[in-house]
A and B are shown apart, each in its own frame.
Chain A
Amino acid sequence: QKEVEQDPGPLSVPEGAIVSLNCTYSNSAFQYFMWYRQYSRKGPELLMYTYSSGNKEDGRFTAQVDKSSKYISLFIRDSQPSDSATYLCAMKRSNTGKLIFGQGTTLQVKP
């Protein structure tokens, strides 16, 4: 079993839709949770960074962490075609720990 599970998709939505992306994990020691966006043939770009449980909002993006369920989510409101990319969840046990990535979910937002 992988430490971090993420549905690879692809996920296709119309422009303006609310997108929900999710990851589950098995190791309760994870404390730091991140979401990265990766465009084709580019390096990952940090979107959201959350410590422990709770919600964090930044513009159209909201990250949620439920440690009791070992489940994290990223919501994108008013999705745009420019949001079309692969979204990777990542997590680590400590500040200086190794990042463990999910497989990534490919999102396509159609105009």
Chain B
Amino acid sequence: GAVVSQHPSWVICKSGTSVKIECRSLDFQATTMFWYRQFPKQSLMLMATSNEGSKATYEQGVEKDKFLINHASLTLSTLTVTSAHPEDSSFYICSAPGQANTDTQYFGPGTRLTVL
């Protein structure tokens, strides 16, 4: 199956700082990647769809100026949480569709963000 990696796996930062999370498709190309957020004991909520070479599409209620997404290549998408606050502490997970782009999604291992 397709492999998606994320870096870092966990990060702790101070309130007001920015944090960048990387999502890579290791053995396939992904023109589209998805970013999810998961709070403890809750389900995954789609934040945005990252499109290679164009602007990301954000879900309703997600601040695009706070969660900056860059999909600069066919194997890398980045999510930057700007001016992070404690309420941004969460588990951030990316995913990418399989080779045919109509397949189901393959998820990365997630990044746990803690904002102090």
Question: Could you list which residues of chain A lie within 8 angstroms of chain B, going by C-beta atoms?
Answer: 6, 8, 32, 34, 36, 41-46, 49, 88, 95-96, 98-99, 101-104
Contacts and interface: CB of A to CB of B under 8 A. Distances in A.
Interface stretch (B11-19, B69-77, B79-87, B100-108): B100-108
Interface of B: 1, 4, 6, 34, 41-46, 49, 91, 93, 95, 97, 101-102, 104-110, 112
A34 B104 contact: yes
A46 B102 contact: no
Contacts of A8: 41
A46 B95 CA distance: 11
B107 A43 contact: yes
19 contacts: A8-B41, A36-B107, A42-B110, A43-B95, A43-B107, A43-B108, A43-B110, A44-B44, A46-B1, A46-B104, A46-B107, A49-B104, A95-B102, A96-B97, A98-B49, A99-B105, A101-B43, A103-B42, A104-B43
A103 B104 contact: no
Nearest to A95: B102
Query: Chain B: interface secondary structure?
Result: strand
Given A41-B91, A43-B109, 15 more contacts: A8-B41, A36-B107, A41-B112, A43-B4, A43-B6, A43-B93, A43-B108, A45-B107, A46-B1, A88-B43, A96-B102, A99-B105, A101-B43, A101-B44, A104-B42
